[in-house]
Chain A
Amino acid sequence: LAKTTQPISMDSYEGQEVNITCSHNNIATNDYITWYQQFPSQGPRFIIQGYKTKVTNEVASLFIPADRKSSTLSLPRVSLSDTAVYYCLVGDMERDDKIIFGKGTRLHILP
């Protein structure tokens, strides 16, 4: 099971790009990296998933270096509504019982 380490909290301002880094030194060959977003009193919501290099969708980008020991979630031009907790997960696509949520990063966007 690959353990992940994220900053506990981050602050940023509206309109800025926010990068949240996750460390996963023990990532295994079959593991994918997935990010979820959670608002208070709601269930987490999938943001993005990747295996290597760069993945981009309509809400975020995910950068994964060649050694895959870390990953960075990039949120372009954040707004107040991006204030949430962001979780980085590392799991084996073939055996989903290895996917565990940690404590996440509490992102606070300021006006």
Chain B
Amino acid sequence: DSGVTQTPKHLITATGQRVTLRCSPRSGDLSVYWYQQSLDQGLQFLIQYYNGEERAKGNILERFSAQQFPDLHSELNLSSLELGDSALYFCASTRLAGGEQYFGPGTRLTVL
């Protein structure tokens, strides 16, 4: 158990819909990363927050957005969903800059 929690574990929805994925980092970790992993693909970095502020942006689509709240949990919002958005979405947290990332169990999103 990494100490990072993600909800929900599974999510099935239809094209055009909007969903919110939630991540709670390990106690004391200030930085949260979001990743997308499609079938047989590597991890695609989406976005990073540090203590409530956006820190780095990767290959995140304009239909996707994220935020980190004062209690340090983070949410990833995916809108106008397409079939190609079906993937595992992971969040990770770190305590130190450049330190070991602790990954959550992921949310499996299926868009039908």
Are the CB atoms of B98 and A92 closer together than 8 Å? yes
Known A-B contacts A43-B90, A43-B104, A44-B103; the reply to A97 vs B56 at CB < 8 A is yes
Could you list which residues of chain A lie within 8 angstroms of chain B, going by C-beta atoms? 32, 34, 36, 38, 41-46, 49, 85, 87, 91-104
Q: For the complex, give the distance between the alpha carbons of A69 and B102 in Å.
A: 26
Using a Cβ–Cβ cut-off of 8 Å, how many residues does chain B contribute to the interface with A?
Answer: 29
Contact flags B12-28 to A (C-beta < 8 A → 1, else 0) = 00000000000000000
B74 contacts A by Cβ under 8 Å: no
* Chain A proximity of B46: nearest CB distance (Å): 11
Are the CB atoms of A87 and B42 closer together than 8 Å? yes
List of A residues within 8 angstroms of B2 by Cβ: 43, 45
* Chain B proximity of A42: nearest CB distance (Å): 7
B79 contacts A by Cβ under 8 Å: no
* Chain A proximity of B95: nearest CB distance (Å): 10
* Chain B proximity of A36: nearest CB distance (Å): 8
Which of the residues A43, A45, A85, A91 comes within 8 Å of B98, measured between beta carbons? A91
* Chain A proximity of B61: nearest CB distance (Å): 17
Are the CB atoms of B103 and A45 closer together than 8 Å? yes
Known A-B contacts A42-B106, A43-B90, A100-B45; the reply to A95 vs B35 at CB < 8 A is no
List of A residues within 8 angstroms of B106 by Cβ: 41-43
Q: For the complex, give the distance between the alpha carbons of A93 and B108 in Å.
A: 31
Q: Report, nearest first, the 4 A-B pairs whose CB atoms are least far apart.
A: A43-B103, A97-B56, A93-B98, A103-B42
Are the CB atoms of A99 and B101 closer together than 8 Å? yes
Known A-B contacts A87-B43, A97-B48; the reply to A44 vs B101 at CB < 8 A is yes
Are the CB atoms of B98 and A99 closer together than 8 Å? yes
Known A-B contacts A43-B92, A44-B103, A45-B103; the reply to A96 vs B98 at CB < 8 A is yes
Q: For the complex, give the distance between the alpha carbons of A38 and B88 in Å.
A: 13
* Chain B proximity of A4: nearest CB distance (Å): 11
